[in-house]
Amino acid sequence: MSNGFSKLPNEILDLILGRLNKHDWTMLTRCCQHLHNRINPVLYQSIETPCYCIGIHKTLVYTLLTHPELARSVRSLKIGRLPYGADPKSYANHQHEHHDSLSSKPGLFQLLQIPGSKSWKRRLSDIIQNLADRKWERTQWIEDLQSGTHRDPWLAILLSLLPNLETIELFWGGSGTRYSSWVLSKISQRCKPFDTRPFWTNLHTAIIKIPEDEGADTNFHRLIPFFILPSIRTFKGQLLTDKYLEPTLNIERSPLTNLEFIQCSSVLGFNYLIKICPNLHSFKYMQQEDNCLHRSPGYNNIYFDTLRPTPLKDALATRKDTLQSVTVDVSRRSSNYGGFYSDDWIGCMNDFTQLRSLHIRAANFVGLGRSRRLDVNPSPRVPLVEFLPGCIEEVWISEVEDRILGTITGELFGLVCSGERFGKVRRIDVEGKNWLKGRVENIGEEAWRKLYPDYGVLLREDVLVATEEVRTACLRRGIEFHVRDMEVEVVFEEYDDVFLFVRGDDEED
């Protein structure tokens, strides 16, 4: 078998590998040296770990430190998940399983032939010697590595071994990130030992998810390296708040073009971060509900406030000449569909001269506020045709309550029938609450699309009737039109690998 494989050209091998999964690839590396040399660099282009723990970090460091050619192959790193939805017993077993020694269980990163422990420890010591500036830092670093109770010392070394990363996704933040913060700062500022060789020159996407047990200590100082890397274009944050975002952060300009905040909270409208991104093209903000049940009572009442649309709009207005896509909504994953969200008017966006796509809550468009919450079909502050710029192509109005459905459909009908003034519109989405005939199960996006390619069959009849006029008008103009329900859209929500704040009905007793 090995002789046959060794005679195959790489193009044929690539075709064979394209039909196999990563586990099969790993098994093939053990067949012969030719496959080992060919597959491993490809296998290590993308590393995705099953969890966020010491065992995984240690094993990765062990492998990549002894095989630098594999470290140079890595383009994408995703440090996995924590089972927050698991019961306490399962979580304890998870911790025990992944905090044991390197030799406990053979896995993907232990299938390679590696040198003895002395050689590995010597290389590890050399790495720390280069990364730590002061003697006490090196001493503390080694002590924390040996203690077996800290993830971050291993993560910091892991990051320092991957020069060619293009995308990175981490559970990261809080006071327990001292060592990785040192390394990230050195990388972004090109300090020793990253001053003499190219490092992260092609990293364009950073996704940072704050673990709930460390979120209280997270501040944007620790995230600054991701904003100043020369090739960075997209930053996505989860479970962040700008409540204590210092206005004195020493950054004048960031090359970021896409900002995304999921399950986050904004008091200041992320104004500083938006201000330092002169070429900002897209902004997505999904508000974390401020009264959801949480394992640490009071945590989100302190750090997560009510959505404030006015400062958010004011901040976005500083980039009205560059923004092409804006989303301001609630986080469906963690929402109880009834939290304390401001219903204030967000203000006109008709002077956003590049805006192509807008996703906004109905209440913030209409401007319900407190005094008009009980109005039926209230009139918006300004008509939709005056609220939007003429360059708009996609409109998504979410969280539409039954009592304002008539208002929204009337405004959309006026938009569709406005002729050439809004001639670029090609898609309209209306998303409501409790519009299904009955409760649905979360069976996953793929299963949903197979069962209900158009889940309009599950919607209440009165909702379909109320939206029929707009649907017909869109059909005449060739505009794509969708009626959606929040409960179903949860299935399709991004960042679905973890609930950092879970909904009350998902909590364990």
pLDDT of 104-117, one tens digit each?
333 333 333 344 45
Residue 317 three-state SS? helix
Q: How far is CA 222 from the centre of its chain?
A: 17
Kindly list the strands in the beta sheet with 258-264, ordered across the sheet, starting from the edge strand earlier in the chain: 46-48, 76-78, 167-171, 205-209, 234-238, 258-264, 282-287, 325-330, 357-361, 394-400, 427-432, 480-485
* pLDDT value at residue 23: 58
Give the lowest-confidence range in 83-97, 319-333, 412-426. 83-97
pLDDT band at 217 (very low <50, low <70, confident <90, very high): low
- Report pLDDT for 221: 75
- CA atoms of 234 and 367, how far apart (whole Å): 31
pLDDT of res. 1: 45
Which residue's entry shows tokens 């950054």? 251
Q: What is the pLDDT of residue 317?
A: 95
Q: Per DSSP, what are the bridge partners of residue 260?
A: 236, 284
Residue the block writes with tokens 């005094």 = 371
Quick one: pLDDT at residue 268? 76
Show the tokens assigned to 1. 């078998």
Section 181-189 average pLDDT: 93
Residue 265 pLDDT level (bands cut at 50, 70, 90) = confident
pLDDT at 326: 97
* Pair type for strands 427-432 and 325-330: unpaired
H or E, element range at 330:
strand 325-330
For residue 277, pLDDT over 60 is answered with: yes
Cβ neighbors of 29 (< 8 A, separation 6 or more) are: 35, 36, 39, 40, 43, 111
At residue 452, does pLDDT exceed 50? Answer: yes
| The one-letter amino acid at 299 | Y
Q: How far apart are CA 58 and CA 26, in angstroms?
A: 20
Residue 13 is predicted with a pLDDT of 65
pLDDT at 84 over 80: no
- Measured CA to CA, the distance from residue 473 to residue 476 in angstroms comes to 5
The Cα–Cα gap between 164 and 199 comes to 6
Q: Is pLDDT above 90 for 75?
A: yes
**DSSP-assigned letter for residue 436:** B
Per-range mean pLDDT, top range of 187-191, 274-278, 393-397: 393-397
- CA–CA separation, 503 vs 489, rounded Å? 15
Contact 75, 25 (CB under 8 A): no
Q: What is the pLDDT of residue 12?
A: 67
Among the listed residues 483, 443, 441, the one whose alpha carbon sits nearest the alpha carbon of residue 465: 483
CB 466 within 8 A of CB 460: no
Burial class (CB in 10 A: 0-12, 13-18, 19+), 88: exposed
pLDDT, position 193: 93
What are the residue ranges of helices labelled H in 67-116? 68-71, 88-98
- Comparing CA positions, the residue from 278, 284, 266, 272 lying closest to residue 223 is 272
Asked if the model's pLDDT at residue 163 lies above 60, the reply is yes
d(CA 257, CA 352): 16
| 400 against 99, higher pLDDT | 400
Q: With DSSP H G I counted as helix, E B as strand and the rest as coil, what are the percentages for the chain, rounded to 5?
A: 40, 15, 45
Res. 100: pLDDT tops 80: no
Higher pLDDT, 321 or 225: 321
Provide φ and ψ at 240, rounded to 5°.
Answer: -110, 155
Work out whether strand 427-432 and strand 394-400 pair parallel, antiparallel, or are unpaired.
parallel
What phi-psi label fits residue 337: left (phi over 0), alpha (psi between -120 and 50 degrees) or beta? left
Distance CA 99, CA 113 (A): 23
Predicted local distance difference test score (pLDDT) of residue 449: 66
Across 40-44, 182-186, 238-242, the highest mean pLDDT is recorded for 182-186
Is residue 333 scored above 70 in pLDDT?
no
* pLDDT tier at 184, thresholds 50, 70, 90: very high
First to last CA, the chain: 55
Q: How far from the centroid of its chain's Cα atoms is residue 231's Cα? A: 19
Helices and strands: H and E segment counts in the chain: 22, 12
Instruction: Name the band, by pLDDT with cuts 50, 70 and 90, for residue 24.
Output: low
Nearest to 347 by CA among 323, 326, 317: 317
- Smallest CA-to-CA distance from 358 within 332, 333, 328, 334 is with 328
* DSSP code for 488: H
Model-level pTM? 0.83
* Per-residue burial over 258-292, b = 16 or more CB atoms within 10 Å of its CB, e = otherwise: bbbbbbbbbbbbbbbbbbbbbebbbbbbbbbbbeb
Contacts of 488 (CB under 8 A, 6+ apart): 436, 440, 448, 455, 458
Q: Which of 112, 124, 128, 150 is nearest to 30 (CA)?
A: 112
257, 233 Cβ separation under 8 angstroms? yes
Is residue 2 within 8 A of residue 31, CB to CB? The reply is yes
pLDDT at 287 over 80: yes
Q: Model confidence at 39, in pLDDT bands (50, 70, 90)?
A: low
Give the pLDDT band (50/70/90) at residue 157: very high
Alpha carbon dihedral 86, 89, 95, 96, in 10-degree steps, equals -150
